Structure 1
Amino acid sequence: MKRLFDLLLSVIASVIFFIPLCLLAVVVKATSKGPVLYWSDRVGRGNRIFSMPKLRTMRIDTPVVATHLLTDPKTFLTPVGGFLRKSSLDEIPQLWCIMCGDMSIVGPRPALFNQQNLIDMRTEQGVHLIRPGLTGWAQINGRDELPLPEKVKLDSDYVQRQSFGLDLKIIMLTALKVVRRDGIVH
């Protein structure tokens, strides 16, 4: 049921966001050097590595680390990068990963391949057993502001409580958070 819902919702969202995505791609290309998409190696279900696309928001010389580990992340943003991140429009290409089965609409956000402490903590709690998501319980309860142990606790709570109703609640609360730009550090 969850996989069918993911496919249906991601196809509908892809149709809705096709023209805006094309326009954003032109803007990204016109305002900075490099490719339109940034492909990031992420950790998926079973701790398997997959490539996740985002609209590129950082300069091409940015170190490959979590944004919060950069000394001054704003210095690496492209001219439209801040807007894309704050609006979460940079996440639209991840609909591809949902259609391919690497991600779900709702689940823990996929860790970067080099976030070993997060990967280990999630594995210990069984979080690695489900598909990562475009949004999740931790995202609506703090997003980028959460310390890792708290994020993993919320991810683990989601694994234990997951249901269609909870997923719908998370999707609705995510939309509200994005509109309000709550919990965005970068």
Structure 2
Amino acid sequence: MIRIIDFIFALLGLICALPVLLLLFFIGLVDTGSPIFRQIRVGRNQRPFTLIKFRTMSPDTASVATHLASSASITRFGHFLRKTKLDELPQLWNVLKGEMSLVGPRPNLFNQHELIAEREALKVYTVRPGITGVAQVAGIDMSTPRLLAETDAQMIKSLTFSLYLKLLLQTALGKGAGDRVVR
């Protein structure tokens, strides 16, 4: 049932947000020359998929977890996108394709070995990764792998339709701060 709701919400979101997506794309084009960011991430059952976001860092930034990147890499427009979480909108395409869910554990990089080990042990990879989840709303990011994996595992065990809707609403209202970056 969640997959059907994900699909409907993602499709409606993409249709309704199309003018905003186009505007952000063109502003991003001026800001970095390359407004779309693509990165291979760990998906369900540890299968790779290409995550799509609006670029918030300069194109020459190293491909590392956000908490390991320098804040100097974030563009002025990127700060706005991160603060408003608008950089996440293109991930609706990943949801539509079935690579992600709206709610689930945030997808990590393949080079985050400690997080992968923690998530493997707790069977977090049995579900689709999500745009938001309990950890994101609570401000828990990938810099604390064990806590993140434990929070993800608990969310998976207790996820109900009511919690799913609550997390979407909290995220839409700005709860959570996203992954921090090195100062």
TM-score (structure 2 length as normaliser): 0.93
Q: Which residue of 2 aligns with 1:12?
A: 12
1:69-124, Cα deviation, whole Å (9 max, x unpaired): 13xx2211123111111111011000010010000010001111211211111111
Q: Which residue of 1 aligns with 2:29?
A: 29
1:86-165 maps to which residues of 2 (within 5 A)?
A: 86-144=83-141, 147-165=144-162
Q: Secondary structure at the match of 1:168?
A: helix
Q: Which amino acid aligns with 1:23?
A: L
The question of whether the paired residues in 1 share the 8 Å contact of 2:58 and 2:75 is answered with: yes
Q: Secondary structure at the match of 2:17?
A: helix
Distance in structure 2 (CA, Å) of the matches to 1:18 and 1:113: 31
Q: Which residue of 1 aligns with 2:2?
A: 2
Q: Secondary structure at the match of 2:52?
A: strand
The question of whether the paired residues in 1 share the 8 Å contact of 2:142 and 2:148 is answered with: no
Distance in structure 2 (CA, Å) of the matches to 1:62 and 1:145: 18
The percentage of counterpart residues that share the same residue type is: 38
Instruction: Measure how far apart 1:164 and its partner are.
Output: 1.0
Q: Which amino acid aligns with 1:7?
A: F
Q: Which residue of 2 aligns with 1:38?
A: 37
Which stretch of structure 1 is more off in the superposition, 73-82 or 139-148? 139-148
The question of whether the paired residues in 1 share the 8 Å contact of 2:139 and 2:177 is answered with: yes
Q: C-alpha root-mean-square deviation of aligned residues, in Å?
A: 1.5
Q: Structure 1: where are the runs of 5+ without partners?
A: none
Instruction: Measure how far apart 1:143 and its partner are.
Output: 3.8
Q: Which residue of 1 aligns with 2:177?
A: 183
Distance in structure 1 (CA, Å) of the matches to 2:80 and 2:168: 21
The question of whether the paired residues in 1 share the 8 Å contact of 2:38 and 2:52 is answered with: yes
Moved over 3 A (4+): 143-146
Distance in structure 2 (CA, Å) of the matches to 1:90 and 1:46: 25
Q: Secondary structure at the match of 1:105?
A: strand
Distance in structure 2 (CA, Å) of the matches to 1:162 and 1:77: 33
Instruction: Measure how far apart 1:159 and its partner are.
Output: 1.3
Instruction: Measure how far apart 1:144 and its partner are.
Output: 3.2
Distance in structure 1 (CA, Å) of the matches to 2:36 and 2:17: 16
Q: Which residue of 2 aligns with 1:55?
A: 54
Instruction: Measure how far apart 1:145 and its partner are.
Output: 8.0
Distance in structure 1 (CA, Å) of the matches to 2:22 and 2:114: 36
